[in-house]
Amino acid sequence: MELQARGVTVRFGGLVAVDDVSVSLRRGEILGLIGPNGAGKTTLVNVLSGFQRPLTGGIFVGERDCTRFARHGFAHAGVVRTFQAVRLFRGLTVSENVEIGYVSQGAGRAEARRRAAQILGELKLGDKAAHRAASLSYGEERRVGLARALATNPRFLLLDEPAAGLAAAEAEELRDVIVGIRSKYDCGILVIEHNMALVMNLCERIQVLDSGRTLAAGTPDEIRANAGVRRAYLGGETLQ
């Protein structure tokens, strides 16, 4: 099964934010989406997750046309996303923040509590379950955001700059967490990220946007070797 954007265009007034872009994400793979600031990456993820309707083109889960679904329709189809800014309920406990995701899928409180404990353990947050979310470090907050997304049992998980603000050691730990999520949940994972070391060491495929259009797509080695990508993204410098 694949999550696909087919020929998507998004305009904001006279600005073309995404211009006839297609992308596909298979279950079980990790895809990187990179490009300069303003390239259209977050807008594309907004379209893929139902937060923005395209002017033209469509979004498909398998052969199911989800283009006109409301946001909750995308979630029920198995498409879940995180945000650059972590939006936790800071007055609730870590466990309660994750339980909300399970309850929204119809689970009872006892089952939600059990499943929240399981996923927090998988993300090395089991000892924080009873703590208030307001007490967490920045890196811990981002992992709780991941845990809450996983509570919906996604087929496709879209991560918008998950390593933003993390130290190098934390980013390396995040890489291991994402690989573990792919293995455990058999979900396709799309990662928007400016940390090139993380992208190159995490993703099997990478798609590059520039000025709202696809500039290149390929393996990490192919993207590293692409002169057009280097010029657009790093002014000709080598991608790490």
Task: Specify the residue for token string 């996303």.
Answer: 81
| Cβ atoms within 10 Å, residue 65 | 12
Q: What phi-psi label fits residue 229: left (phi over 0), alpha (psi between -120 and 50 degrees) or beta?
A: alpha
3-state DSSP assignment of residue 239? coil
| Cβ atoms within 10 Å, residue 108 | 10
* Burial category of 81 from C-beta neighbours within 10 Å (exposed 0-12, middle 13-18, buried 19 and up): buried
pLDDT tens digits, one per residue of 114-136? 989 999 998 889 999 999 999 99
In this prediction, residue 235 carries a pLDDT of: 54
Mean pLDDT score of the chain, rounded to an integer? 90
* Residue 104 pLDDT exceeds 70: yes
CATH number of 2-88+138-234: 3.40.50.300
Q: Model confidence at 236, in pLDDT bands (50, 70, 90)?
A: very low
Whole-number Å distance between alpha carbons of 95 and 117: 7
Q: 60, 7 in Cβ contact below 8 A?
A: no
Q: Model confidence at 105, in pLDDT bands (50, 70, 90)?
A: confident
Ranking 71-80, 86-95, 170-179, 225-234 by mean pLDDT, the lowest is 225-234
In this prediction, residue 129 carries a pLDDT of: 94
Nearest-CA neighbor of 4 among 155, 123, 121, 223? 155
Whole-number Å distance between alpha carbons of 84 and 187: 20
DSSP summary character for residue 163: T
pLDDT tens digits, one per residue of 25-62? 999 999 999 998 889 999 999 999 999 999 999 999 99
**Alpha helices, DSSP H only, in 38-191?**
41-48, 71-76, 94-104, 109-122, 138-150, 168-185
What percent of the chain has a predicted confidence (pLDDT) above 70? 97
Select the more confidently predicted residue: 232 or 159: 159
In this prediction, residue 238 carries a pLDDT of: 47
Q: What integer is the mean pLDDT of 190-197?
A: 92
Q: Model confidence at 231, in pLDDT bands (50, 70, 90)?
A: confident
Residues in a beta bridge with 80:
157
Q: Model confidence at 237, in pLDDT bands (50, 70, 90)?
A: very low
Q: What are phi and psi of 217, to 5 degrees?
A: -150, 140
Q: Positive or negative, the Cα torsion across 21, 150, 185, 76? A: negative
pLDDT tens digits, one per residue of 77-88? 999 998 877 788
Whole-number Å distance between alpha carbons of 234 and 232: 6
CA angle 213, 218, 220 (to 5 degrees): 115
Q: Which two tokens stand for residue 60?
A: 């498909």
